[in-house]
Chain A
Amino acid sequence: MDKTVTAARKRSPAGLIILVLAAIILALLPLVIQGYWIRVITSLFMYAAMAEALNLVVGYAGYAAFGNGVFFGIGAYMTAILMTHYKWGFFPASAISGLTAMLIAFILGWPVLRLRGHYFAIATIGINMAVMEIVTYVGITGGGKGISLPLYPGDIVKQGMFFYYSMFILMLVSIAITAWIVHGRLGYGLRAIKTQPDAAEVMGIDTTLYKVYAWSISALITGIAGSLNAYWLTFLEPIYVFDIMISVEVFVMVLLGGPGTILGPILGAFFLKLLSELVWSQFTLIHMGVLGLIIVVISLFLPAGLMGLLRQAGRWRRTAPQSLGNR
């Protein structure tokens, strides 16, 4: 009789098989696609990694980090500066960019993560705007005119492959990090903080420290995404990389896919990006309007996102043969 409410989640082997298959297909995809679609899927991986990173803060810790795009911009600019002014290679520059984003999140986290709810969301937007202003008016970044990075050595096909697989690996790493966190102390601590911050504290969880950890890891992944993106596009402008719409779009991906689930944000990113590529690119003028509409629809009808919908569908299928009593 307790069956319907028994909600202890068990990992189904079927889910894992689907996941591995999907990864293999994506890894082999460049054999059959090229040019435009390689670029589309590369950016898809990038957004998926950023959504997964944001999910740590939004989905698990329950903090509406609305300005997480700031770490994307910081990662991008750090890489640009190291590669152009100091002639660093890409990989060390990228590593330092990720770590810089992480360090900034770690330092800002102590004051900012003490705020709750709307105050935190607004503070993160403020940080994004402030950093954009600083980057615009500082000489080393090239200011408002932007900055150009060295080109990836090699032909255009090799270049496409490099970024495709780099972003792909970044996405896989972001999933692996999330899975590792969720099943460990940090994950339990974050989930406790999300539901009952006061009770979490009296359990002996250092709540501020845990939130700072989550935000820092989130910033690290986002910073590396920004770094890769900078090298990929080879040209940066403050108004492009610090665009608040990057934060908003990634946020919508998390909500759409299912905050607080490991694969939800990935699903949300794929869904939203492909949809925008296939449909809205034909109607650029109403793009923003449709995005707004999607936000409204998700919050009204899909509070647990696509993952919630999938879970619900699974439950219906399992309970359908029995009578509809019990609930």
Chain B
Amino acid sequence: MGTSKVQGADALITLENVATGYGIAQALWDVSLELHHGEIVALIGSNGAGKTTMLRVLSGVLPLWSGEFKIQGQSVKGCTTPDLVDRGICHVPEGRQLFFGMSVEENLRMGAFALQKSSAEINKNLAWVYELFPEVARRRNQLAGTLSGGEQQMVAIGRGLMGEPAILLIDELSLGLAPVIVDRILEALQVIHRQRQLTIFMVEQDVEVALSIASRAYILENGRIVREGRNEQLMNDTAIREAYLGL
């Protein structure tokens, strides 16, 4: 299934000249970005570049100061988070943020909270998540807080998938995880992407992780997008190799 990449034609999500921040502290300047159906796109940047802020804008937690935010060409500026969840946006937050007082299964079911679906359909999704992450399935009745970091990340992603999103926003997937676990999760993301043609937007500090599955990437520095390009272009860019890969 080939996804056409004509600019603006089938953009699932569009940000145009967005500025925002916290109180009087501006965090993003003139940010524009487009995500298309079925793409995996990475957002790369160092600490404090504004990556998480960008995800907060996309999930509706942080209002825009100026600029435009569209989903499938329709403006969603000023929409609340539950509205955006309804429109298929799912945010897998940094640090997993599982509901620790609940079991793994309850956490996953929470992901379908806003979904108006029959329990049969929800159970089908649950079975699918368990199939993707068998290591999590084995621990379905354990409290979420008793899981390892990697398993928690799997539950967090699984919880996101339970909401049948059109786009998955993943914040710092690799944070604090062993490389072998990160590889395992990236592999699962590729399976998810292949099976459901899901759009994935991942925010990463680790450029190698990001570019290993993303087809395109944006580079954020000090609240501005300084570069964008296809995976191989960026990989071969000497400036980027020096700044982010240390090669």
* A residues lining the B interface (CB < 8 Å): 2, 5-8, 185, 188-189, 191-192, 194-196, 198-206, 260
Q: List 27 A-B contacts (CB under 8 A).
A: A5-B142, A5-B143, A5-B146, A6-B141, A7-B141, A7-B142, A8-B105, A8-B141, A185-B113, A188-B102, A188-B113, A189-B113, A191-B99, A192-B99, A192-B110, A196-B97, A199-B98, A199-B99, A201-B81, A202-B61, A203-B85, A203-B111, A203-B113, A203-B159, A204-B81, A205-B114, A260-B101
Q: Which residues of B contact A191 (CB under 8 A)?
A: 99, 101-102
Residue total for B at the interface (Cβ-Cβ under 8 A) = 31
Asked whether, in the complex, the Cβ of B113 is within 8 Å of the Cβ of A205, the reply is: yes
Q: Which of A6, A188, A202, A205 contacts B106 (CB 8 A)?
A: A188
Asked whether, in the complex, the Cβ of A204 is within 8 Å of the Cβ of B86, the reply is: yes
A6 to B104, alpha carbons, bound, how many Å? 11
A6 to B110, alpha carbons, bound, how many Å? 19
Q: Which of A198, A204, A260 contacts B82 (CB 8 A)?
A: A204
Q: Which residues of A contact B105 (CB under 8 A)?
A: 8
Chain A residue nearest to B146 (CB atoms) is A5
- Total A-B Cβ pairs within 8 A: 78
Q: Which residues of B contact A201 (CB under 8 A)?
A: 61, 81-82
Knowing that A5-B142, A195-B100 touch, tell me 11 more A-B residue pairs with CB under 8 angstroms: A7-B103, A185-B113, A188-B102, A191-B102, A192-B110, A195-B101, A201-B61, A201-B81, A202-B59, A203-B111, A205-B113
Given contacts A204-B81, A204-B86, whether A198 and B113 have CB atoms under 8 Å apart is no
Q: Which residues of B contact A6 (CB under 8 A)?
A: 141-142
Any A CB within 8 A of the CB of B163: yes
Chain B residue nearest to A6 (CB atoms) is B141
Q: Which residues of B contact A196 (CB under 8 A)?
A: 97-100
* B residues lining the A interface (CB < 8 Å): 59, 61, 80-82, 85-86, 90-91, 93, 97-103, 105-106, 109-111, 113-114, 139, 141-143, 146, 159, 163
Taking the nearest CB of chain A, how far is it from the CB of B165, in angstroms?
A: 10
A198 to B91, alpha carbons, bound, how many Å? 10
Taking the nearest CB of chain B, how far is it from the CB of A55, in angstroms?
A: 15
Asked whether, in the complex, the Cβ of B142 is within 8 Å of the Cβ of A2, the reply is: yes
Taking the nearest CB of chain B, how far is it from the CB of A308, in angstroms?
A: 13
Chain A residue nearest to B115 (CB atoms) is A204
Q: Which residues of A contact B101 (CB under 8 A)?
A: 191, 194-195, 260
A189 to B114, alpha carbons, bound, how many Å? 10
Chain A residue nearest to B93 (CB atoms) is A199
Q: Which of B82, B111, B139, B163 contacts A2 (CB 8 A)?
A: B139
A199 to B85, alpha carbons, bound, how many Å? 12
Chain B residue nearest to A199 (CB atoms) is B97
Given contacts A5-B143, A189-B113, whether A198 and B85 have CB atoms under 8 Å apart is no
Q: Which residues of A contact B163 (CB under 8 A)?
A: 203-204
Given contacts A2-B142, A188-B113, A192-B110, whether A204 and B85 have CB atoms under 8 Å apart is yes
A205 to B141, alpha carbons, bound, how many Å? 23
Asked whether, in the complex, the Cβ of A206 is within 8 Å of the Cβ of B99, the reply is: no
A7 to B143, alpha carbons, bound, how many Å? 6
Q: Which residues of B contact A194 (CB under 8 A)?
A: 101
Chain A residue nearest to B142 (CB atoms) is A5
Q: Which of B81, B142, B146 contacts A202 (CB 8 A)?
A: B81
Asked whether, in the complex, the Cβ of A204 is within 8 Å of the Cβ of B142, the reply is: no
Taking the nearest CB of chain A, how far is it from the CB of B178, in angstroms?
A: 22
A8 to B102, alpha carbons, bound, how many Å? 8
Q: Which residues of B contact A188 (CB under 8 A)?
A: 102, 106, 109-110, 113
Asked whether, in the complex, the Cβ of B142 is within 8 Å of the Cβ of A203, the reply is: no
Given contacts A5-B143, A195-B101, whether A202 and B110 have CB atoms under 8 Å apart is no
Chain B residue nearest to A8 (CB atoms) is B141
Q: Which residues of B contact A195 (CB under 8 A)?
A: 98-102
| Residue of B86, B97, B143 with most chain A CB atoms under a 10 A cut-off | B97
Asked whether, in the complex, the Cβ of A203 is within 8 Å of the Cβ of B141, the reply is: no
| Residue of B80, B85, B110 with most chain A CB atoms under a 10 A cut-off | B110
A204 to B90, alpha carbons, bound, how many Å? 9
A260 to B113, alpha carbons, bound, how many Å? 20
Chain A residue nearest to B92 (CB atoms) is A202
Chain A residue nearest to B104 (CB atoms) is A8
Asked whether, in the complex, the Cβ of A198 is within 8 Å of the Cβ of B93, the reply is: yes
Taking the nearest CB of chain B, how far is it from the CB of A261, in angstroms?
A: 11
Chain B residue nearest to A205 (CB atoms) is B113
A55 to B81, alpha carbons, bound, how many Å? 27
